[in-house]
Amino acid sequence: MDELELLKKDWVKSDDKFERKSTAQLYPMLLKKSSSIVKTLFYISIAELVFWVAINTIPFLMSDAYRAKHEEMYTSNMFIILSLLSYAIILLFVYLLYRSHKSISVTDNAKKLMQNILKTRKIIKYYVLYNLVLASVSMILAFIYTSSHDPLLAEKIDHFTNKQYIAMIGMFMLVTIVFVAVIWLFYKLLYGILLRRLNRNYKELKKIEV
């Protein structure tokens, strides 16, 4: 006899073997909080948006010098356009995230549900990537700006030998790379753990279709 047929025979009979829950036990279960990966992804995306917006705003609110520098920079049209563009990009990400979260439905078929969750994860990934690129570019620009505009630093750099100059650039690049790498690794790990099962199951489903 086919193994599964034997199992099926028992499976059908197993209905009365479960500890049935009464309606009184079921009601409180509706009020409990979900711990699904979609909910976690949702919180991560909110945290992402807040984190990067905060990174860009806090120095502005905290430091007078930074604010003064900012105001000085705002006289340039180029800077205003760049700022508007960056806000537009944030709004675009908010919209994309909202849309993709809305598209996740537990009543879709298994494959579609997985694809929609992975799509949301991709949007968060692009948002992080965008911010990392932006942060690196800002760090480089700030470095160039400070080394030529800050009188104290500019004078020091003037006295640097070639070797010292290269060492300084090297150090700066290293710091930038480490900063980007640490954040990137953190995300890899975070999503790796969170979506390990989903990725494995999605691969398995894809394999069936090959």
Partner 1 sequence: MSKPLEQNFVELLEQHQNIVHKVCRLYTNNYDAHNDLFQEITIQLWKAFPKFRGDSKFSTWMYRVGLNTAITLYRKSKRTINTQQFDTVQFKISAEEYDSTEEDQLKLLYNAVHQLNDIEKALVFLYLEDKNYKEISETMGITEVNARVKMNRVKTKLRTILNP
The dihedral built from the CA positions of residue 106, 107, 113 and 117, taken in this order, carries a sign that is negative
Closest approach, Cβ 111 to partner 1, in A, equals 3
Contacts of 190 (CB under 8 A, 6+ apart): 44
Rounded-to-integer distance, Cα 103 and Cα 101, Å: 5
Name the phi and psi angles at 79, rounded to 5. Answer: -70, -40
Is residue 43 within the footprint of partner 1 (CB under 8 A)? no
Amino acid at the residue 138:
S
Is residue 111 within the footprint of partner 1 (CB under 8 A)? yes
The answer to whether residues 89 and 108 touch, using CB atoms and an 8 Å cutoff, is no
Rounded-to-integer distance, Cα 40 and Cα 46, Å: 10
Is residue 56 within the footprint of partner 1 (CB under 8 A)? no
Is residue 19 within the footprint of partner 1 (CB under 8 A)? yes
Nearer to partner 1, 69 or 111 (CB): 111
Amino acid at the residue 136:
S
Is residue 201 within the footprint of partner 1 (CB under 8 A)? yes
Where does this chain touch partner 1 (CB under 8 A) — which range of 12-20, 80-88, 129-137, 176-184? Answer: 12-20
Is residue 155 within the footprint of partner 1 (CB under 8 A)? no
Is residue 2 within the footprint of partner 1 (CB under 8 A)? yes
Contacting residue, 53, 81, 110, 144, with partner 1 by CB under 8 A: 110
Where does this chain touch partner 1 (CB under 8 A) — which range of 3-11, 44-52, 64-72, 169-177? Answer: 3-11
Closest residue by Cα to residue 49 from 103, 83, 118, 97:
97
The dihedral built from the CA positions of residue 35, 36, 39 and 43, taken in this order, carries a sign that is positive
| Residue 91: half-sphere exposure toward Cβ, Cα within 13 Å | 6
Closest approach, Cβ 3 to partner 1, in A, equals 5
Contacts of 96 (CB under 8 A, 6+ apart): 123
Which class for 127: exposed (0-12), middle (13-18), buried (19 or more C-beta within 10 A)? buried
Is residue 209 within the footprint of partner 1 (CB under 8 A)? yes
Nearer to partner 1, 93 or 114 (CB): 114
Is residue 38 within the footprint of partner 1 (CB under 8 A)? yes
Nearer to partner 1, 156 or 200 (CB): 200
Is residue 85 within the footprint of partner 1 (CB under 8 A)? no
Q: Which residues bind partner 1 (CB under 8 A)?
A: 2-4, 6-8, 10-11, 14-15, 17-23, 26-27, 29-30, 32-38, 40, 105-114, 117, 194, 197-198, 200-201, 204-205, 208-209
